[in-house]
Amino acid sequence: MKIIKMVACLSIAIYSNGWAQQNLQQLQLSEALSIALRNNSSIKSAEYDITTNRELKKTASDIGKTSIAGTFGQYNSYVRSDNNITISQSIPFPTVFTATAKLGAARIRSSELLLGVTQNELSFQVKSSFYQLAYLKTLDKWLLHLDSIYTAFQRAASLRYQYEETNLLEKTTAETQAVQIRTLLRQNDADIKIFQTRLKTLLNTDEQLDIAFDSLSAREISLPDTSSLINNPLLNWFRQQIMVAEKQKIVEKNRLLPDLSASYFTQTLIDTQLKAGSSDLAGSSDRFQGFGVGISIPLWIKPQVAKVKAAESQLKANESMYAYQEKNFQGRLNELIQDYQKYRESLSYYLEASLPNAELLLNQSQRAYESGEIGYVEYLQSLRTATEVRTGYLATLNNYNQSVISIEYIIGQQ
């Protein structure tokens, strides 16, 4: 009865685990990218920044507050009930409006480019994590295969020791190697969970997910040249900062121009003669009106001149930063291309020679060990050689794919 219960519990556990694995959301790379670009908070933040700058551009037509002033009392005669209402408005020189609007447009473009930078960075992280996870899962399959080989080796060594066909050293060595492979499996499983969590974070989702892939393959790319950097979002953003600084400088220069003002007044002049030669006097219902215009000339221009010079300095700083970043990206792209070529050549070597030889070595050594043609030392050496070749190939393939993804990132290919 106890055995039946144990079997039943084990069956339920296996079924539950299998059901949980099947219910993981399996994502293709394109699906993962789409979800990340839709859900990630950094994208939403960049989009809000665009909205902010679009609203701020509307402030370019700000003319300031209109002044309404009243004067009451004896400003014209002994009469205490006179009143004067004056409405006045001061505005910057008209070219300031145009310059400020262009500055606002430049800032909108800057925030749009920053959104592109954020999207490119997020796409890079998603692709890198996706391919790293694909590598770890492929490595997991290989380690499971090795585990079955070393388990069989351990079982065979135990039987040989049991029937006194070998010594304790072979049995202990087989057990040690089997334990080592299982340790590597556990470590690799932990790494898989880490990158699953990382991918989940990038996609900003609470759903349990995994990647959908058949096998780890080489990502294709047409090698670019340095002219491809024209599409780099971050470099374009640095270029746009030059434009923003230029527009800021124009705004500050225009603010050196005088402000314009206009006013209108209406007032009473009680007991004032209405017409020359007439005895009719103005009453409280008689109003006198007029208007005024003026300009406000900045006599003390040193502070505003300092703002112009500061804008010029910022422009030069932005130009220098762009030149530095352009040179830096050119150098980085050349490095990545060299890495790509290095890993591509290594992959060719693995595929043409090392992998077939390692597979042959593994198969022949297994048969030879099982038939007693070779001892455990030779068999173990063959296993280690085949393992090193296979794991080296997978690591090189992963490095190759990561170099391709980095090249795509630097040329702005999402």
> 324: domain CATH number?
1.20.1600.10
Do the domain assignments include residue 374? yes
Domain residues for the domain of 277 are 26-410
Instruction: Tell me the average pLDDT across 236-247.
Output: 97
Instruction: Tell me the average pLDDT across 327-347.
Output: 95
Q: Which pLDDT value is given to residue 12?
A: 38
* pLDDT reading at 15 higher than 60: no
Measured CA to CA, the distance from residue 414 to residue 397 in angstroms comes to 21
Which residues face 69 on adjacent strands?
A: 86
Instruction: Tell me the average pLDDT across 316-330.
Output: 96
pLDDT tens per residue, range 91-136 = 999 999 999 999 999 999 999 999 999 999 999 999 999 999 999 9
The two tokens of residue 95 are: 């070219």
Q: According to DSSP H, which parts of 163-218 are helical?
A: 168-203
Q: Assess contact for 49 and 111: CB atoms under 8 A.
A: yes
Overall domain count for the chain: 1
Lowest mean pLDDT among 104-113, 137-146, 315-324: 137-146
Measured CA to CA, the distance from residue 281 to residue 158 in angstroms comes to 131
Lowest mean pLDDT among 282-296, 309-323, 374-388: 374-388
Measured CA to CA, the distance from residue 376 to residue 171 in angstroms comes to 9
Measured CA to CA, the distance from residue 142 to residue 386 in angstroms comes to 11
**pTM of the entire predicted model:** 0.84
* pLDDT reading at 22 higher than 60: no
* pLDDT reading at 8 higher than 50: no
Q: Which pLDDT value is given to residue 163?
A: 58
pLDDT tens per residue, range 63-93 = 999 999 999 998 888 888 899 999 999 999 9
What rounded mean pLDDT belongs to the chain?
87
Do the domain assignments include residue 259? yes
pLDDT band at 330 (very low <50, low <70, confident <90, very high): very high
Q: Assess contact for 199 and 31: CB atoms under 8 A.
A: no
pLDDT band at 16 (very low <50, low <70, confident <90, very high): very low
Lowest mean pLDDT among 9-13, 294-298, 326-330, 375-379: 9-13
The two tokens of residue 274 are: 């209405």
Q: Which pLDDT value is given to residue 194?
A: 94
Do the domain assignments include residue 86? yes
Do the domain assignments include residue 188? yes
Q: Which pLDDT value is given to residue 164?
A: 62
* pLDDT reading at 401 higher than 90: yes
Q: Which pLDDT value is given to residue 1?
A: 40
Q: Which pLDDT value is given to residue 153?
A: 74
pLDDT tens per residue, range 350-376 = 999 998 998 888 888 888 877 888 887
Measured CA to CA, the distance from residue 191 to residue 129 in angstroms comes to 11
Do the domain assignments include residue 5? no
pLDDT band at 166 (very low <50, low <70, confident <90, very high): low
Do the domain assignments include residue 47? yes
Do the domain assignments include residue 6? no
* pLDDT reading at 5 higher than 50: no
Do the domain assignments include residue 79? yes
